[in-house]
Chain A
Amino acid sequence: MSDLIQIAQQNILAPVGLGESDLDRMLGELTGQGVDAADLYFQSSRLESWVLEDGIIKEGAHNIEQGAGIRVISGEKTGFAYSDELQLPTLQEAARAARAITRSGGSQRVQIAGTPIAKQLYAPLNPLPSLNEAEKVELLQALDREARKQDPRVKQVIVSLVAAQDIILVAAIDGTLSADVRPLVRMNVHVIAEHNGRREQGSSGGGARESLGYFIQESRGLEYAREAVRQALVNLDAVDAPAGTMPVVLGPGWPGVLLHEAVGHGLEGDFNRKGTSAFSGRIGEQVASSCCTVVDDGTLPGRRGSLNIDDEGTPSQNTVLIENGILKGYMQDKHNARLMNTASTGNGRRESYAHLPMPRMTNTYMLAGEHNPEEIIASVERGLYAVNFGGGQVDITSGKFVFSASEAYLIENGKVTRPVKGATLIGNGPEAMSRISMVGDDLKLDKGVGVCGKEGQSVPVGVGQPTLKLDELTVGGTEQ
């Protein structure tokens, strides 16, 4: 929507005296023989964070960052420079550095035009002042009180709150002029419980592209506190996890990190253009069991991984990655799409103006199946039921992936019995996906805490899935 462009221009360009005609002119200087694409990315972001620890408000911090990144692409070559100073001469110097990727000089006229966004997935608000300071302090304290009153075994509570606003504007020699105002809030509660000399931790949190009121509505914040305590107490009773290969049932929601690692990264366009992924050249092939349909959907209103437009100005989309087990498509940015003769899927993302965009996930999840979750658990004689996870990692070439359970239980004779300690699960992406034998009817998305790292760049993402059963996965416990 053009009002987003206006907001971005007022916030980033106007204070340094830059106008649309300056962008036209700068882009013009980036054109020339051999230049296939070039863009300017302006960003202004502010972030505020608070930490409560030992019952007191310990830290409060504020960060302001702004700058511009300039990229010029010729064939498979990319020239890139950025600056945190937005004065025209500095930008022109950066442009010359980026432009040096091609030797031929040249200058063509470029006229950019604002493209309207079909549907705004979140309001262009600034979450930082959406509660006043006293209200933020009260919110943090309320979560601390809630956690401590759950159980006397709770010994330490750390509550954090982050509010950020990111305003971006992107202009490209293909005529693109787009902007977005992205709010993002997040709260986390970390708890340590102690009993008979044993200490265990639990943590929970959530977030969205919303104002801070999100944590007060539906008592979401208080629920994070209760959930963190519940996990810590469960872990106080946990016995050693089993070691070896066995059936694994994953709970709904956040365990969807499985999909992010086992298939998501391997389906990013850059790896597939270069032929470095275990999924390269496999479009149309069976890469998962037929009960699996996996999508990457950046269009879910308000979600942490959602974007009105990606960082190249392409509207985000709902992209089917795997349909009934068949590989349907990759996630693309403009650069890789152009080299693979296809279109961007709106997955071109970057951590900031100081980083190059590349294909990244948004919200990646599996669609619901038809089984009742209890029925899935009842089908397992001996196995693991894992409901909460820390992070994961994947080697996209060999397809090997891991993810670390932080709350898990044994399944014995079709029943969930004892809690077990956290353990790493390891598998091979395509193999693990082919061993999914039951998919639940209880699709859930995570609560909005996901951060994805790739080549040193972090971006917020979402994951989700229904309860599902893998007939075989290796569980890295200590009990044989």
Chain B
Amino acid sequence: MSDMKSRQLDLQQSVEELLQEATRQGASAAEAAVSSDAGLSVTVRLGETETIEHTRDNGLGVTVYFGHRKGSASTSDLSPQAIKETVEAACNFARYTSEDDCAGLADSSLMATELPDLDLYHPWDQSVEEAIELAIRCETAARETDARIFNSEGATLNSHNGLQVYGNTHGFIGGYPSSRHSLSCAVLGKQGESMQRDYWYTLARKGGQLESAESVGEMAAKRTVARLNGRRIKTQQAPVLFQADVAVGLLRSFVGAIRGSSLYRKASFLLDQLEKPVFPAFINIHEDPLLPGGLASSAYDSEGVATSRKDFIRDGVLSSYVLDSYAARKLGMQTTGNGGGVRNLRISSGDQDREGLLKSMQRGLLVTELMGQGVNMVTGDYSRGVTGFWIENGEIQFPVEEITIAGNMKEMFLGLQEVGSDIETRSSVQTGSWLIDNMMIAGE
């Protein structure tokens, strides 16, 4: 820990040098961020070590303002010479970018003044051998779960520790260490002509909070064999249940649509919806940036602005956009402390788990995987490839594949029937499964 503390002081000094150099070169304002990460990644396959990767990444970025002109530069080299050259490059750009009234640092009065320890740093003291052993236990469990598992893409253990420091010429400087560990496994199953692959993973700030290696392996295997002998279904309209891990994508699309940069560019399907119903009245969506141990926790945003708990959807009504100071100025509003995005976002959930929701749906499509990028953020048009299961009488009948679902996200959001209690916790955007009243399925 003390080692990390001194490293943090080093990085803070780099940030201060960057800001001083920027001022020395004539910038009227500047901001800088420096990060340093180190990690280990091991992959085993078929019981043998496949790769051992030692990672070490440094990054430094600076943005300078000459009045309302802006320039940026970044480098992976943290030496004093590189700092000087990087600031020079940024200043050079500021000579050619245009005068932009909205450009500049966030207001100094909004800077975070309290920087509590959010419990984000839990290095995992394990040797390479221990990491390999854990991955082998995970993969072995997957291979032993079902006789139809015949091959493997392996199991991977990742363990990363990082430090980030941000500062600006308002005098704000903040930094904190954080850790992130994950274990994943992907295996292949075969039955007759059908060959399928699926995976599972666990992710946490603390090594001890990961799901057990065996349960990750088993889950990967079960998901894989469940997909075997998938069929197509007829083209039709039907209700759709998005399993929690894929429903996260829908919630992310919502966030993308209320992000300031999409709004001022008029590139959002939720334009001019503030104070209007976007979801049914039973839905609330809020963020908690100060959540201790959260995957996206931070007391300040990417501009040093203090973050705070807030609602984006209150009783179905859009109550706030996701703004940084630039987008806020473009829209004539105030930043919401969301420079760099949302932090620990969660949608309110009902009391039924996935199985309960299947019973509510009775007949329809359960989506467990989405493919492709068919999400049009300007119009809200949505068309994706799907793997999942066909549901009759509230129960899984058979796996389905090679079909698509399509609709418009505005209507999908308003057509949300229920959100499950089966919250996906491996993401900084968290939700349970989503039951949507009706979508178009294209198949045979």
Number of interface residues of A (CB under 8 A): 75
B443 at the interface (CB under 8 A from A): yes
B58 at the interface (CB under 8 A from A): yes
Partner of B93, one of A60, A79, A427, A474: A60
What residues of chain B lie closer than 8 Å to A81, measured between beta carbons?
A: 53-54, 56
B197 touches A63 (CB 8 A): no
A146 at the interface (CB under 8 A from B): no
B82 at the interface (CB under 8 A from A): yes
A94 at the interface (CB under 8 A from B): yes
A218 at the interface (CB under 8 A from B): no
What residues of chain B lie closer than 8 Å to A400, measured between beta carbons?
A: 371, 385, 387, 401-402
A79 touches B57 (CB 8 A): no
Give the total number of A-B pairs whose CB atoms are below 8 A apart. 244
**Shortest distance between the CB of B93 and any CB in chain A (Å):** 3
**Shortest distance between the CB of A480 and any CB in chain B (Å):** 6
Stretch at the interface among A34-42, A207-215, A272-280, A318-326: A272-280
Partner of B96, one of A63, A137, A421: A137
Say whether, besides A77-B51, A79-B52, A424-B383, A478 and B188 are in contact (CB < 8 Å): no
**Shortest distance between the CB of A13 and any CB in chain B (Å):** 16
What residues of chain A lie closer than 8 Å to B384, measured between beta carbons?
A: 402, 424, 476
Contact with B along A387-413 (1 / 0, CB 8 A): 000111101011011111000000000
Q: Tell me whether chain B's interface is mostly helix, strand or loop, or mixed.
A: strand
B54 touches A158 (CB 8 A): no
What residues of chain A lie closer than 8 Å to B99, measured between beta carbons?
A: 56
Stretch at the interface among A119-127, A167-175, A194-202, A438-446: A194-202
Contact with B along A449-474 (1 / 0, CB 8 A): 00000000000000000000000001
B440 at the interface (CB under 8 A from A): yes
Stretch at the interface among A106-114, A222-230, A237-245, A285-293: A237-245
| Interface hits, B59-114 → A, CB 8 Å | 70-77, 82, 85-86, 89-90, 92-100, 103
A76 touches B48 (CB 8 A): yes
B407 at the interface (CB under 8 A from A): yes
A424 touches B404 (CB 8 A): yes
**Shortest distance between the CB of B235 and any CB in chain A (Å):** 4
A199 touches B195 (CB 8 A): no
Cα-based distance from A156 to B261 in the complex (angstroms): 12
B76 touches A356 (CB 8 A): no
What residues of chain B lie closer than 8 Å to A426, measured between beta carbons?
A: 371-372, 385, 402-404, 442
B403 touches A80 (CB 8 A): no
Cα-based distance from A404 to B92 in the complex (angstroms): 40
Q: Which residue of chain A lies nearest to B444 when distances are taken between CB atoms in the complex?
A: A245
What residues of chain B lie closer than 8 Å to A245, measured between beta carbons?
A: 235, 442-444
Number of interface residues of B (CB under 8 A): 78
B5 at the interface (CB under 8 A from A): no
B334 at the interface (CB under 8 A from A): no
What residues of chain A lie closer than 8 Å to B128, measured between beta carbons?
A: 100
What residues of chain B lie closer than 8 Å to A402, measured between beta carbons?
A: 371-372, 374, 384-385, 404
- The residue among B50, B93, B403 with the most chain A CB atoms within 10 A of its own CB is B93
A66 at the interface (CB under 8 A from B): yes
**Shortest distance between the CB of B25 and any CB in chain A (Å):** 14
| Interface hits, A239-275 → B, CB 8 Å | 241, 243-245, 274-275
Contact with A along B365-380 (1 / 0, CB 8 A): 0000001111010110
Q: Which residue of chain A lies nearest to B54 when distances are taken between CB atoms in the complex?
A: A81
B7 at the interface (CB under 8 A from A): no
Partner of B402, one of A62, A244, A427: A427
A398 touches B378 (CB 8 A): no
A84 at the interface (CB under 8 A from B): yes
B381 touches A421 (CB 8 A): yes
What residues of chain B lie closer than 8 Å to A423, measured between beta carbons?
A: 374, 383, 404, 406
Cα-based distance from A201 to B268 in the complex (angstroms): 11
B372 touches A391 (CB 8 A): yes
Partner of A276, one of B188, B373, B440, B444: B188
Cα-based distance from A194 to B151 in the complex (angstroms): 52
Say whether, besides A56-B98, A474-B404, A62 and B378 are in contact (CB < 8 Å): no
A8 at the interface (CB under 8 A from B): no
B383 touches A58 (CB 8 A): no
| Interface hits, B407-444 → A, CB 8 Å | 407-408, 440-444
Q: Which residue of chain B lies nearest to A475 when distances are taken between CB atoms in the complex?
A: B442
Q: Which residue of chain A lies nearest to B197 when distances are taken between CB atoms in the complex?
A: A397
Say whether, besides A426-B402, A474-B403, A476-B442, A64 and B75 are in contact (CB < 8 Å): yes
A101 at the interface (CB under 8 A from B): yes
Say whether, besides A84-B56, A356-B53, A274 and B151 are in contact (CB < 8 Å): yes
Cα-based distance from A79 to B52 in the complex (angstroms): 5
B443 touches A478 (CB 8 A): no
A419 at the interface (CB under 8 A from B): no
A302 at the interface (CB under 8 A from B): no
- The residue among A200, A201, A426 with the most chain B CB atoms within 10 A of its own CB is A426
Q: Which residue of chain B lies nearest to A136 when distances are taken between CB atoms in the complex?
A: B96
Known contacts A84-B76, A426-B402; 11 additional CB pairs below 8 A are A58-B97, A80-B51, A100-B52, A133-B96, A244-B235, A356-B51, A356-B53, A397-B188, A401-B371, A424-B372, A476-B384
**A-B pairs with the 5 shortest C-beta distances?**
A476-B404, A60-B93, A56-B98, A402-B372, A402-B385
Interface residues of A (CB under 8 A from B): 53, 56-67, 76-84, 94, 97-98, 100-101, 133-134, 136-137, 155-156, 158, 192, 194, 199-201, 241, 243-245, 274-276, 278, 354, 356, 390-393, 395, 397-398, 400-404, 421-424, 426-428, 474-480
